[in-house]
């Protein structure tokens, strides 16, 4: 089997046995990026020289008997994470010239675990989008069909993993931006509990919703990456202090007797019938494995999209106020005064979707409208959280679809923001509640992948990964590779 078709678990075993070196593995991925990324546009900044140097160091460490949890494994970072001495753009013209002076905590943690940074991946501008079409660097293509989107905003990371251009990647999830592209590209993606992974050095979109997580071929690989990523960070005031378990420890435990809730609101109008069939087929597999399935209700789920699209833009309008052309980032040429500097720098630096959300958020926070919109949205958010609290008294996890359909065509929805926003209708609620959730490959419709969503209780990522791993022992959807990635 070609090196790139191995999982992280398998690659670590091969590196340890001396089947190949980290430098050979890294060079192999670099050559794939050189050949394939002209098709996909998944990378903004490939890092060949730096990656090969790190791989040499990993080989030297291994020769001295130093074994790290991810020692010598090439990964990619979504370009929303600050990386010291490397361009960190957020997919925006605003940060096209920004070289970060420090590493994000996630980057530090994965580097300390021995992972090798092979490149920074493309994304929707400032993580605002569900298709990876709003990037200043052009849209990302889905490797299963180059005329379709990979999902967003972590579409570059999803494509890079699906096309086997790296062994794993980081993503961020504000309303589904790890899980939706994972589903549309046929990989595994996990959004941890809010605060489980540090947000320090991860450029903010909506601070009360953003969460970093792993994007990999398998649940077992996601567990290895999360082991390195998770943990308390004193630099992040929202970081959880609870100790980090070994997320790999329970992967081989059977799921017999686990209670799974099938949310009835996820199977109402708007869900493609073929996607629903794939999800129900996956549910049957889980039931045959001994899981106990029951119907549950999350009645306020219908309000999650409107609540989210008040809260997230409001927070983005505050977070993006710092990009003013004065301190860092894009600055317009020859401003006539300070007001002109602000106006033109922001007008030139931000794309249409970012501007739209800034305006919506500014309106929602303005005097006279704060109570009617932002406060009301936060009250709805509490109702959504209460729904989950009630359901988790009955079941261990909730299962359902990730997206209403398979990957749609490039340009199909970009001109219709509301239709685009509804792509996250099944994923947003878990962000509003701060719950962990994942997507695991569960089938294909007309040659396009579909994922099943698993939502867990607070800090119960281990159960989600256990369920995903056991499901993947019984299925082979996660082993499928797109024809476009074959060399």
Single out the catalytic residue among 21, 22, 23, 78: 78
Write out the two tokens for 113.
Answer: 């675990």
Which stretches does DSSP call E strand in 195-239?
212-216
Does 153 participate in catalysis according to the annotation? yes
CB 136 within 8 A of CB 89: yes
Cβ neighbours for 241, distance < 8 A, ≥ 6 positions apart: 232
Element (H, E) at 161: helix 155-162
> CA nearest 446: which of 38, 139, 124, 142?
142
Query: Rounded to 5 degrees, what are φ and ψ at 256?
Result: -55, 125
Single out the catalytic residue among 177, 317, 345, 463: 177
Cβ neighbours for 120, distance < 8 A, ≥ 6 positions apart: 43, 44, 45, 47, 76, 77, 78, 79, 81, 83, 86, 87, 88, 89
Other CB atoms within 10 Å distance of the CB of residue 73: 29
Give the CA distances from residue 313 to residues 172, 273, 451, 455, in Å, rounded to whole numbers and listed in that order. 17, 32, 27, 24
Cβ neighbours for 283, distance < 8 A, ≥ 6 positions apart: 260, 262, 293, 399, 452
CB 84 within 8 A of CB 102: yes
Measured distance CA(217)–CA(222) in Å, rounded: 8
CB 225 within 8 A of CB 106: no
> CA nearest 431: which of 474, 394, 385?
385
Does 177 participate in catalysis according to the annotation? yes
Measured distance CA(296)–CA(308) in Å, rounded: 22
423 class by beta-carbon count within 10 Å (0-12 exposed, 13-18 middle, 19+ buried): buried
Measured distance CA(153)–CA(452) in Å, rounded: 19
Helices 219-229 and 8-17 meet at what angle, rounded to 10?
80
CB 44 within 8 A of CB 138: no
Q: Which DSSP letter does residue 415 get? A: T
Q: Which residues are catalytic?
A: 78, 153, 177
């Amino acid at each position: 089997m070609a090196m790139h078709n191995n999982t992280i678990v398998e690659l670590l075993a091969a590196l340890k046995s001396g089947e190949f070196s980290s430098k050979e593995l890294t060079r192999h991925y670099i050559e794939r990026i050189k050949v394939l990324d002209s098709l996909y546009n998944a990378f903004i900044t490939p890092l060949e020289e730096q990656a090969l140097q790190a791989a040499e160091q990993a080989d030297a460490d291994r020769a001295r008997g130093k074994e790290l949890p991810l020692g010598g494994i090439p990964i990619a970072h979504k370009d929303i994470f600050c990386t010291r001495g490397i361009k960190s753009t957020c997919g925006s013209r605003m940060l096209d010239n920004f070289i970060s002076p420090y590493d994000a905590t996630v980057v530090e943690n994965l580097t300390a675990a021995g992972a090798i940074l092979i490149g920074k991946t493309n994304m929707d501008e400032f993580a605002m989008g569900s298709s990876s079409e709003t990037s200043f660097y052009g849209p990302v293509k889905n490797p299963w069909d180059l005329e379709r989107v990979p999902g967003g905003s972590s579409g570059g990371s999803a494509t890079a993993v699906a096309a086997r251009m790296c062994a794993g990647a980081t993503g961020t999830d504000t309303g589904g931006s790890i899980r939706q592209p994972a589903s549309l590209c046929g990989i595994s993606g996990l959004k941890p509990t809010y605060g489980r992974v540090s947000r320090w050095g991860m450029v903010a979109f909506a601070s009360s919703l953003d969460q970093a997580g792993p994007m990999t071929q398998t649940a077992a690989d996601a567990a290895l990456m999360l082991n390195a990523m998770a943990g308390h960070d004193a630099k992040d005031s929202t970081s959880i202090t609870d100790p980090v378990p070994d997320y790999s420890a329970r992967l081989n435990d059977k799921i017999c007797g686990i209670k799974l809730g099938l949310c009835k609101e996820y199977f109402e109008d708007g869900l493609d019938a073929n996607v629903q069939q794939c999800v129900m087929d996956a549910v049957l597999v889980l039931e045959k494995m001994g899981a106990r399935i029951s119907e549950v209700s999350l009645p306020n789920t219908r309000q999650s999209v409107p609540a989210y699209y008040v809260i997230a833009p409001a927070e983005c309008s505050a977070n993006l106020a710092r990009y003013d052309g004065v301190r860092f980032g894009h600055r317009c040429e020859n401003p006539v005064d300070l007001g002109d500097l602000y106006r033109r720098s922001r007008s030139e630096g931000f794309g249409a979707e970012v501007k739209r959300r800034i305006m919506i958020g500014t309106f929602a926070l303005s005097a006279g409208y704060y109570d009617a919109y932002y406060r009301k949205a936060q009250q709805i958010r509490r109702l959504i959280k209460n729904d989950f609290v009630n359901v988790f008294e009955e079941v261990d996890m909730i299962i359902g679809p990730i997206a209403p359909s398979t990957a749609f065509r490039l340009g199909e929805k970009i001109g219709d923001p509301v239709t685009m926003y509804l792509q996250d209708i099944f994923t947003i609620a878990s962000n509003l509640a701060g719950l962990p959730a994942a997507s695991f490959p569960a089938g294909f419709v007309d040659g396009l992948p579909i994922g099943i969503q698993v939502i867990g209780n607070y800090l119960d990522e281990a159960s989600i990964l256990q369920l995903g791993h056991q499901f993947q022992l019984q299925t082979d959807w996660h082993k499928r590779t797109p024809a476009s990635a074959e060399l």
